[in-house]
Amino acid sequence: MKIQSSEKHSMQSSRTYISRRSFLKRCSLAAAAAGLPLWFVERELSAATPTVTRLSPNDRPGIGLVGCGGQGRYDTSNAGRFGEILAVCDVDSSHAEAAAKQFTKSGKVPTKYGDFRKLLQRPDIQVIVTGTPDHWHTLVNLAAIQAGKDIYGEKPLTLTIDEGRHVVSAVRQHGTVFQTGSQQRSDPRFRLACELVRNGRLGKLKEVRVWLPAGLRGGPFKPVPVPSSLNWNFWLGQAPKTAYMPQRCHLYFRYWYDYAGGTMTDWGAHHNDIALWGIGLPGPVEIEGKPLAQPIPGGYTAFSEYEVKFTYSNGVIHRVHTTTADNIYGGVADPKGQRNGIRFEGPEGWIWVNRGSLRASDPALLRTPLPEGALRLYVSNDHMGNFFECVRTRKAPICEAEVGQRAATVCHLGNIALRTGWTLHWDPDEQQFVGENAKEASAWLSRHMRQPYNYGFIG
Protein backbone atom coordinates (compact mmCIF):
# COMPACT_ATOMS: atom_id res chain seq x y z
CA MET A 1 0.00 0.00 0.00
CA LYS A 2 1.33 3.40 -0.97
CA ILE A 3 1.45 5.92 1.88
CA GLN A 4 0.51 9.49 0.98
CA SER A 5 3.03 12.22 1.76
CA SER A 6 0.64 13.80 4.28
CA GLU A 7 0.43 10.46 6.10
CA LYS A 8 4.21 10.14 6.06
CA HIS A 9 4.53 13.62 7.58
CA SER A 10 1.95 12.72 10.21
CA MET A 11 3.78 9.51 11.13
CA GLN A 12 7.14 11.30 11.29
CA SER A 13 5.64 14.04 13.46
CA SER A 14 4.14 11.44 15.73
CA ARG A 15 7.45 9.64 16.08
CA THR A 16 9.22 12.96 16.72
CA TYR A 17 6.64 13.90 19.34
CA ILE A 18 6.87 10.54 21.05
CA SER A 19 10.66 10.64 20.92
CA ARG A 20 10.70 14.15 22.36
CA ARG A 21 8.17 13.23 25.02
CA SER A 22 10.23 10.15 25.93
CA PHE A 23 13.38 12.26 26.04
CA LEU A 24 11.79 14.85 28.33
CA LYS A 25 10.44 12.12 30.61
CA ARG A 26 13.91 10.61 30.80
CA CYS A 27 15.37 14.05 31.57
CA SER A 28 12.78 14.69 34.27
CA LEU A 29 13.46 11.37 35.95
CA ALA A 30 17.22 11.90 35.78
CA ALA A 31 16.90 15.44 37.14
CA ALA A 32 14.71 14.28 40.03
CA ALA A 33 17.08 11.44 40.89
CA ALA A 34 20.21 13.59 40.83
CA GLY A 35 18.76 16.77 42.30
CA LEU A 36 19.80 18.72 39.18
CA PRO A 37 17.79 21.30 37.22
CA LEU A 38 15.95 19.98 34.19
CA TRP A 39 17.70 22.30 31.71
CA PHE A 40 21.09 21.00 32.79
CA VAL A 41 20.08 17.35 32.46
CA GLU A 42 18.54 18.04 29.04
CA ARG A 43 21.77 19.68 27.92
CA GLU A 44 23.86 16.82 29.25
CA LEU A 45 21.78 14.12 27.60
CA SER A 46 21.58 16.02 24.31
CA ALA A 47 25.35 16.41 24.21
CA ALA A 48 26.12 12.88 25.39
CA THR A 49 28.08 10.65 23.03
CA PRO A 50 27.97 6.86 23.18
CA THR A 51 30.69 5.31 25.31
CA VAL A 52 33.16 3.30 23.30
CA THR A 53 32.78 -0.36 24.25
CA ARG A 54 35.85 -2.56 24.34
CA LEU A 55 34.94 -5.73 22.55
CA SER A 56 38.30 -7.45 22.27
CA PRO A 57 40.07 -8.97 25.28
CA ASN A 58 43.25 -7.49 23.81
CA ASP A 59 41.79 -4.03 24.37
CA ARG A 60 41.57 -4.58 28.13
CA PRO A 61 44.84 -3.47 29.76
CA GLY A 62 46.44 -5.34 32.61
CA ILE A 63 45.97 -3.66 35.99
CA GLY A 64 48.19 -3.76 39.05
CA LEU A 65 47.16 -2.48 42.48
CA VAL A 66 49.75 -1.04 44.87
CA GLY A 67 48.29 -0.50 48.32
CA CYS A 68 45.51 -2.95 49.14
CA GLY A 69 43.58 -1.05 51.78
CA GLY A 70 39.92 -0.25 51.47
CA GLN A 71 40.27 2.69 49.07
CA GLY A 72 42.78 0.94 46.83
CA ARG A 73 40.54 -2.11 46.55
CA TYR A 74 37.49 0.06 45.87
CA ASP A 75 39.33 1.89 43.07
CA THR A 76 40.61 -1.36 41.59
CA SER A 77 37.20 -2.98 41.65
CA ASN A 78 35.98 0.04 39.71
CA ALA A 79 38.93 -0.21 37.29
CA GLY A 80 38.07 -3.88 36.70
CA ARG A 81 35.20 -2.72 34.46
CA PHE A 82 37.82 -1.70 31.91
CA GLY A 83 40.77 -4.07 32.35
CA GLU A 84 42.09 -7.27 33.86
CA ILE A 85 43.40 -7.22 37.43
CA LEU A 86 46.61 -9.20 37.23
CA ALA A 87 48.57 -8.33 40.37
CA VAL A 88 48.27 -6.78 43.82
CA CYS A 89 50.97 -5.48 46.16
CA ASP A 90 51.07 -4.51 49.81
CA VAL A 91 53.65 -4.52 52.59
CA ASP A 92 50.99 -6.16 54.75
CA SER A 93 50.62 -9.67 53.36
CA SER A 94 47.16 -10.03 54.91
CA HIS A 95 45.95 -7.07 52.84
CA ALA A 96 47.51 -8.48 49.67
CA GLU A 97 45.90 -11.84 50.37
CA ALA A 98 42.46 -10.28 50.85
CA ALA A 99 42.82 -8.28 47.64
CA ALA A 100 43.94 -11.31 45.64
CA LYS A 101 40.94 -13.24 46.91
CA GLN A 102 38.57 -10.38 46.06
CA PHE A 103 39.91 -10.05 42.51
CA THR A 104 40.14 -13.74 41.65
CA LYS A 105 38.11 -14.24 38.50
CA SER A 106 37.30 -17.52 36.73
CA GLY A 107 39.93 -19.25 38.83
CA LYS A 108 42.66 -16.76 37.90
CA VAL A 109 44.28 -15.43 41.07
CA PRO A 110 46.17 -12.12 40.83
CA THR A 111 49.85 -12.45 41.70
CA LYS A 112 50.75 -11.09 45.14
CA TYR A 113 53.82 -8.90 45.76
CA GLY A 114 55.38 -7.28 48.81
CA ASP A 115 57.60 -4.87 46.82
CA PHE A 116 55.93 -2.68 44.19
CA ARG A 117 59.13 -2.46 42.16
CA LYS A 118 58.79 -6.13 41.23
CA LEU A 119 55.19 -5.66 40.14
CA LEU A 120 56.23 -2.76 37.90
CA GLN A 121 58.64 -5.03 36.01
CA ARG A 122 55.73 -6.92 34.42
CA PRO A 123 55.19 -5.96 30.76
CA ASP A 124 51.62 -7.31 30.80
CA ILE A 125 50.59 -4.61 33.29
CA GLN A 126 49.87 -1.28 31.66
CA VAL A 127 47.87 0.48 34.40
CA ILE A 128 48.71 1.03 38.06
CA VAL A 129 46.23 1.94 40.77
CA THR A 130 48.07 3.63 43.64
CA GLY A 131 46.15 3.23 46.89
CA THR A 132 48.97 3.50 49.43
CA PRO A 133 49.10 5.91 52.39
CA ASP A 134 50.04 9.44 51.32
CA HIS A 135 53.74 9.22 52.17
CA TRP A 136 54.22 6.47 49.58
CA HIS A 137 52.27 8.09 46.72
CA THR A 138 55.20 9.90 45.13
CA LEU A 139 57.77 7.11 45.01
CA VAL A 140 55.24 4.56 43.73
CA ASN A 141 53.93 6.96 41.09
CA LEU A 142 57.38 8.05 39.94
CA ALA A 143 58.51 4.43 39.65
CA ALA A 144 55.37 3.58 37.67
CA ILE A 145 55.96 6.54 35.34
CA GLN A 146 59.54 5.42 34.74
CA ALA A 147 58.26 1.91 34.00
CA GLY A 148 55.94 3.27 31.30
CA LYS A 149 52.66 2.67 33.14
CA ASP A 150 49.57 4.87 33.19
CA ILE A 151 48.33 5.67 36.67
CA TYR A 152 45.16 6.18 38.65
CA GLY A 153 46.59 7.70 41.83
CA GLU A 154 44.69 8.36 45.02
CA LYS A 155 44.52 11.87 46.47
CA PRO A 156 46.22 13.83 47.84
CA LEU A 157 48.76 13.60 45.04
CA THR A 158 51.78 13.97 47.34
CA LEU A 159 53.00 14.33 50.91
CA THR A 160 54.75 17.66 50.21
CA ILE A 161 54.65 20.53 47.73
CA ASP A 162 58.11 19.68 46.38
CA GLU A 163 57.05 16.10 45.61
CA GLY A 164 54.27 17.48 43.43
CA ARG A 165 56.79 19.21 41.20
CA HIS A 166 58.66 15.94 40.70
CA VAL A 167 55.48 14.08 39.73
CA VAL A 168 54.17 16.72 37.31
CA SER A 169 57.58 17.00 35.64
CA ALA A 170 57.84 13.22 35.22
CA VAL A 171 54.30 12.93 33.81
CA ARG A 172 55.08 15.58 31.20
CA GLN A 173 58.44 14.07 30.32
CA HIS A 174 57.10 10.55 29.80
CA GLY A 175 53.64 11.37 28.37
CA THR A 176 51.94 9.43 31.17
CA VAL A 177 48.17 9.42 31.48
CA PHE A 178 47.64 10.21 35.15
CA GLN A 179 44.25 10.55 36.84
CA THR A 180 44.15 11.89 40.40
CA GLY A 181 41.38 10.25 42.42
CA SER A 182 39.54 13.54 43.05
CA GLN A 183 36.34 12.05 41.71
CA GLN A 184 34.13 15.00 42.62
CA ARG A 185 35.14 16.62 39.32
CA SER A 186 33.25 13.80 37.62
CA ASP A 187 30.08 14.52 39.61
CA PRO A 188 27.68 16.78 37.67
CA ARG A 189 26.56 18.55 40.87
CA PHE A 190 30.04 19.96 41.44
CA ARG A 191 30.56 20.77 37.77
CA LEU A 192 27.26 22.64 37.53
CA ALA A 193 28.00 24.61 40.71
CA CYS A 194 31.39 25.64 39.35
CA GLU A 195 30.02 26.48 35.89
CA LEU A 196 27.37 28.72 37.45
CA VAL A 197 29.96 30.47 39.60
CA ARG A 198 32.47 30.84 36.76
CA ASN A 199 29.74 32.34 34.55
CA GLY A 200 28.83 35.00 37.11
CA ARG A 201 25.53 33.57 38.34
CA LEU A 202 26.30 34.91 41.83
CA GLY A 203 27.76 38.16 40.54
CA LYS A 204 31.44 38.70 41.30
CA LEU A 205 32.50 35.82 43.52
CA LYS A 206 33.34 37.10 46.99
CA GLU A 207 33.90 34.09 49.22
CA VAL A 208 34.17 30.31 49.16
CA ARG A 209 33.55 28.43 52.38
CA VAL A 210 34.71 24.85 52.73
CA TRP A 211 33.58 22.67 55.63
CA LEU A 212 35.60 19.56 56.45
CA PRO A 213 35.00 16.87 59.08
CA ALA A 214 36.99 17.34 62.26
CA GLY A 215 39.85 14.88 62.65
CA LEU A 216 40.63 12.47 65.47
CA ARG A 217 42.18 13.80 68.66
CA GLY A 218 43.42 10.87 70.70
CA GLY A 219 46.34 9.51 72.66
CA PRO A 220 48.76 8.88 74.13
CA PHE A 221 49.37 5.55 72.40
CA LYS A 222 51.71 2.76 73.42
CA PRO A 223 53.87 0.59 71.16
CA VAL A 224 52.90 -3.05 70.67
CA PRO A 225 54.54 -5.92 68.76
CA VAL A 226 54.43 -5.63 64.98
CA PRO A 227 51.93 -8.04 63.37
CA SER A 228 53.70 -10.92 61.62
CA SER A 229 52.00 -10.00 58.32
CA LEU A 230 53.36 -6.43 58.26
CA ASN A 231 56.74 -5.20 57.02
CA TRP A 232 56.73 -2.19 59.35
CA ASN A 233 60.03 -0.71 58.20
CA PHE A 234 58.90 -0.79 54.56
CA TRP A 235 55.52 0.67 55.55
CA LEU A 236 57.27 3.59 57.28
CA GLY A 237 59.30 4.25 54.15
CA GLN A 238 60.60 7.81 53.99
CA ALA A 239 59.03 8.70 57.36
CA PRO A 240 61.06 8.71 60.60
CA LYS A 241 61.64 5.31 62.17
CA THR A 242 59.39 4.73 65.18
CA ALA A 243 57.89 1.90 67.17
CA TYR A 244 54.76 0.25 65.81
CA MET A 245 51.35 1.06 67.18
CA PRO A 246 48.03 0.30 65.42
CA GLN A 247 46.98 3.94 65.64
CA ARG A 248 49.79 4.93 63.24
CA CYS A 249 48.99 2.41 60.56
CA HIS A 250 46.36 1.58 57.94
CA LEU A 251 43.15 3.58 58.46
CA TYR A 252 44.68 5.93 61.03
CA PHE A 253 47.78 7.05 59.12
CA ARG A 254 45.97 10.18 57.91
CA TYR A 255 46.02 11.74 61.39
CA TRP A 256 49.82 11.90 61.58
CA TYR A 257 51.90 14.53 59.83
CA ASP A 258 54.64 11.94 59.28
CA TYR A 259 52.42 10.16 56.76
CA ALA A 260 49.64 12.57 55.74
CA GLY A 261 48.05 15.90 56.64
CA GLY A 262 44.94 15.23 58.69
CA THR A 263 41.52 16.05 57.31
CA MET A 264 43.03 19.03 55.48
CA THR A 265 44.61 16.66 52.94
CA ASP A 266 41.94 13.97 53.24
CA TRP A 267 38.48 15.48 52.62
CA GLY A 268 40.26 18.77 52.00
CA ALA A 269 41.93 17.44 48.86
CA HIS A 270 38.41 16.91 47.46
CA HIS A 271 36.66 20.09 48.57
CA ASN A 272 39.58 22.49 48.10
CA ASP A 273 39.95 21.12 44.59
CA ILE A 274 36.34 22.13 43.88
CA ALA A 275 36.99 25.55 45.45
CA LEU A 276 39.90 26.02 43.00
CA TRP A 277 37.70 24.87 40.11
CA GLY A 278 35.06 27.46 40.98
CA ILE A 279 37.54 30.27 41.62
CA GLY A 280 39.38 29.55 38.37
CA LEU A 281 42.85 30.48 39.63
CA PRO A 282 45.88 28.21 40.26
CA GLY A 283 46.20 29.03 43.93
CA PRO A 284 46.10 31.65 46.69
CA VAL A 285 48.55 34.49 47.33
CA GLU A 286 48.14 34.66 51.11
CA ILE A 287 47.42 31.98 53.73
CA GLU A 288 46.59 32.25 57.44
CA GLY A 289 45.79 29.39 59.79
CA LYS A 290 44.43 28.98 63.31
CA PRO A 291 44.31 25.66 65.21
CA LEU A 292 41.20 25.32 67.37
CA ALA A 293 42.40 22.29 69.36
CA GLN A 294 45.90 21.12 70.22
CA PRO A 295 47.05 17.52 69.73
CA ILE A 296 47.38 15.36 72.83
CA PRO A 297 51.06 14.62 73.61
CA GLY A 298 51.92 11.11 72.45
CA GLY A 299 48.82 11.01 70.24
CA TYR A 300 47.79 12.02 66.74
CA THR A 301 49.89 14.94 65.52
CA ALA A 302 47.62 16.47 62.83
CA PHE A 303 45.35 19.25 64.06
CA SER A 304 41.82 17.92 64.50
CA GLU A 305 39.99 21.27 64.44
CA TYR A 306 41.12 24.44 62.69
CA GLU A 307 40.32 27.40 60.50
CA VAL A 308 42.33 28.49 57.47
CA LYS A 309 41.91 31.60 55.33
CA PHE A 310 43.22 31.73 51.75
CA THR A 311 43.22 35.00 49.79
CA TYR A 312 43.43 35.04 45.98
CA SER A 313 44.80 37.67 43.61
CA ASN A 314 41.27 38.62 42.49
CA GLY A 315 40.21 39.34 46.08
CA VAL A 316 38.25 36.11 46.63
CA ILE A 317 38.46 34.76 50.19
CA HIS A 318 38.49 30.96 50.59
CA ARG A 319 37.87 29.80 54.15
CA VAL A 320 38.22 26.25 55.46
CA HIS A 321 36.46 25.22 58.66
CA THR A 322 36.30 21.89 60.45
CA THR A 323 32.84 20.78 61.50
CA THR A 324 31.48 19.00 64.52
CA ALA A 325 27.89 17.99 65.15
CA ASP A 326 26.48 21.49 65.49
CA ASN A 327 28.66 24.03 63.71
CA ILE A 328 27.80 23.40 60.05
CA TYR A 329 26.51 26.56 58.35
CA GLY A 330 23.21 27.60 59.90
CA GLY A 331 23.30 24.59 62.22
CA VAL A 332 21.73 22.51 59.44
CA ALA A 333 23.15 19.23 58.21
CA ASP A 334 22.91 18.13 54.61
CA PRO A 335 19.77 16.02 53.91
CA LYS A 336 21.93 12.90 53.65
CA GLY A 337 23.67 13.64 56.92
CA GLN A 338 26.98 14.84 55.47
CA ARG A 339 28.43 17.70 57.45
CA ASN A 340 30.93 18.83 54.85
CA GLY A 341 30.79 20.64 51.55
CA ILE A 342 31.44 23.88 49.68
CA ARG A 343 29.49 27.14 49.61
CA PHE A 344 30.14 29.80 46.96
CA GLU A 345 28.98 33.31 47.91
CA GLY A 346 28.44 36.46 45.85
CA PRO A 347 26.25 39.58 45.86
CA GLU A 348 23.44 37.64 44.16
CA GLY A 349 23.33 34.82 46.73
CA TRP A 350 25.01 31.51 47.47
CA ILE A 351 25.30 27.99 46.06
CA TRP A 352 25.99 25.00 48.32
CA VAL A 353 27.22 21.67 46.98
CA ASN A 354 28.44 18.38 48.37
CA ARG A 355 28.07 14.73 47.43
CA GLY A 356 24.49 14.63 48.64
CA SER A 357 22.99 17.88 47.42
CA LEU A 358 23.07 21.04 45.34
CA ARG A 359 21.17 24.01 46.82
CA ALA A 360 21.04 27.77 46.42
CA SER A 361 19.78 30.79 48.37
CA ASP A 362 17.25 31.29 45.54
CA PRO A 363 16.19 28.19 43.54
CA ALA A 364 16.15 30.37 40.41
CA LEU A 365 19.95 30.51 40.60
CA LEU A 366 19.91 26.83 39.67
CA ARG A 367 16.75 26.67 37.55
CA THR A 368 17.69 29.42 35.09
CA PRO A 369 19.67 27.97 32.16
CA LEU A 370 23.07 29.34 31.27
CA PRO A 371 23.08 31.21 27.95
CA GLU A 372 24.50 29.91 24.71
CA GLY A 373 28.23 30.48 24.61
CA ALA A 374 28.64 30.24 28.39
CA LEU A 375 31.87 28.79 29.71
CA ARG A 376 31.75 25.00 29.78
CA LEU A 377 34.01 23.00 32.07
CA TYR A 378 35.57 19.60 31.30
CA VAL A 379 32.77 17.02 31.17
CA SER A 380 33.27 13.67 32.85
CA ASN A 381 30.48 11.66 34.44
CA ASP A 382 32.57 8.57 35.22
CA HIS A 383 35.95 9.26 36.82
CA MET A 384 37.43 5.83 36.22
CA GLY A 385 35.81 5.62 32.80
CA ASN A 386 37.34 8.97 31.88
CA PHE A 387 40.77 7.68 32.91
CA PHE A 388 40.57 4.55 30.76
CA GLU A 389 39.17 6.50 27.83
CA CYS A 390 42.24 8.74 28.08
CA VAL A 391 44.50 5.70 28.31
CA ARG A 392 43.11 4.81 24.87
CA THR A 393 43.17 8.29 23.33
CA ARG A 394 46.23 9.70 25.20
CA LYS A 395 44.26 12.84 26.01
CA ALA A 396 44.51 14.49 29.42
CA PRO A 397 41.97 13.22 31.97
CA ILE A 398 39.82 15.56 34.01
CA CYS A 399 42.11 15.35 37.07
CA GLU A 400 45.50 15.14 35.41
CA ALA A 401 48.60 15.34 37.59
CA GLU A 402 48.81 19.14 37.63
CA VAL A 403 45.17 19.43 38.75
CA GLY A 404 45.94 17.04 41.60
CA GLN A 405 49.15 18.88 42.40
CA ARG A 406 47.44 22.28 42.60
CA ALA A 407 44.75 20.94 44.93
CA ALA A 408 47.31 19.20 47.14
CA THR A 409 49.41 22.38 47.24
CA VAL A 410 46.50 24.39 48.65
CA CYS A 411 46.07 21.78 51.38
CA HIS A 412 49.79 21.72 52.18
CA LEU A 413 49.89 25.52 52.33
CA GLY A 414 47.03 25.42 54.82
CA ASN A 415 48.89 22.91 56.98
CA ILE A 416 52.11 24.91 56.86
CA ALA A 417 50.22 28.00 58.05
CA LEU A 418 48.62 25.98 60.85
CA ARG A 419 51.89 24.43 61.97
CA THR A 420 54.03 27.59 61.84
CA GLY A 421 51.50 30.22 62.87
CA TRP A 422 52.85 32.51 60.15
CA THR A 423 50.96 34.52 57.58
CA LEU A 424 52.33 33.07 54.34
CA HIS A 425 52.70 34.81 50.99
CA TRP A 426 52.71 32.57 47.93
CA ASP A 427 53.37 33.06 44.23
CA PRO A 428 51.09 30.44 42.59
CA ASP A 429 52.68 30.90 39.17
CA GLU A 430 56.25 30.35 40.33
CA GLN A 431 55.03 28.08 43.14
CA GLN A 432 57.26 29.60 45.77
CA PHE A 433 56.98 31.61 48.97
CA VAL A 434 57.60 35.34 48.70
CA GLY A 435 57.78 38.27 51.09
CA GLU A 436 58.02 38.00 54.85
CA ASN A 437 59.03 34.58 56.22
CA ALA A 438 59.68 33.32 52.67
CA LYS A 439 63.07 31.80 53.50
CA GLU A 440 61.82 30.08 56.65
CA ALA A 441 58.61 28.90 55.00
CA SER A 442 60.52 27.41 52.06
CA ALA A 443 62.03 24.84 54.42
CA TRP A 444 58.51 23.34 54.66
CA LEU A 445 58.25 22.65 50.92
CA SER A 446 59.98 19.29 51.32
CA ARG A 447 60.90 16.84 54.08
CA HIS A 448 63.88 14.71 54.88
CA MET A 449 63.39 11.27 53.34
CA ARG A 450 64.78 8.45 55.48
CA GLN A 451 67.24 6.23 53.64
CA PRO A 452 67.00 4.10 51.64
CA TYR A 453 63.44 5.28 50.94
CA ASN A 454 64.36 8.41 49.02
CA TYR A 455 64.34 9.08 45.28
CA GLY A 456 67.26 6.68 44.85
CA PHE A 457 65.04 3.84 46.04
CA ILE A 458 63.33 3.71 42.65
CA GLY A 459 66.48 4.19 40.56
Pick the closest to residue 255 from 217, 298, 294, 291 (CA basis): 217
The answer to the question of residue 426 being in a domain is yes
Same domain, 162 and 215: no
What is the CATH number for 220? 3.30.360.10
End position of a domain, from candidates 158, 184, 210: 184
Q: What is the average per-residue pLDDT within 20-30?
A: 57
pLDDT digit string (tens) for 301-334? 999 999 999 999 999 999 999 987 544 433 344 4
Do 269 and 418 fall within a single domain? yes
Rounded to 5°, angle at Cα 206 from 201 and 208: 90
- Residue 395: inside a domain: no
The pLDDT value recorded for residue 26 is 61
The band of 8, judged by pLDDT with boundaries at 50, 70 and 90, is very low
Domain count for the chain = 2
- Do the domain assignments include residue 18? no
pTM for this entry: 0.91
361 and 303 assigned to the same domain: yes
Residue 284 and residue 157 in one domain:
no
Q: Are 134 and 141 in contact (CB under 8 A)?
A: no
Q: Which residue has the higher pLDDT, 324 or 144?
A: 144
215 and 114 share a domain? no
Domain that holds residue 148: 57-184
How far apart are the C-alpha atoms of 195 and 336, rounded to whole Å? 24
> Do residues 221 and 90 both lie within one domain?
no
Q: How far apart, in whole angstroms, are the C-alpha atoms of residue 264 and residue 274?
A: 14
State the CATH number of the domain containing residue 163: 3.40.50.720
Same domain, 316 and 176: no
In degrees and rounded to multiples of 5, residue 238 shows phi and psi of -70, -15
Identify whether the C-beta of residue 122 lies closer than 8 Å to the C-beta of residue 89.
Answer: no
Residue 353 has a pLDDT of 96
Same domain for 254 and 147: no
Report, as an integer, the average pLDDT of 146-172.
Answer: 98
Q: Do 128 and 111 reside in the same domain of the chain? A: yes
Residue 33 has pLDDT above 50, yes or no: yes
Question: Same domain for 191 and 178?
Answer: no
HEC letters along 140-184: HHHHHHHCCCEEEECCCCCCCHHHHHHHHHHHHHHCCCEEECCHH
Query: Tell me: the pLDDT tens digits for 263-276?
Result: 999 999 999 999 99
pLDDT > 90? residue 7: no
Which of 134, 165, 184 corresponds to the end of one domain? 184
Does 289 share its domain with 419?
yes
Residue 226 shares a structural domain with residue 298: yes
- The domain boundary residue, chosen from 184, 199, 233: 184
Cβ atoms of 125 and 62 closer than 8 Å: yes
Give a yes or no: residue 5 inside a domain.
no
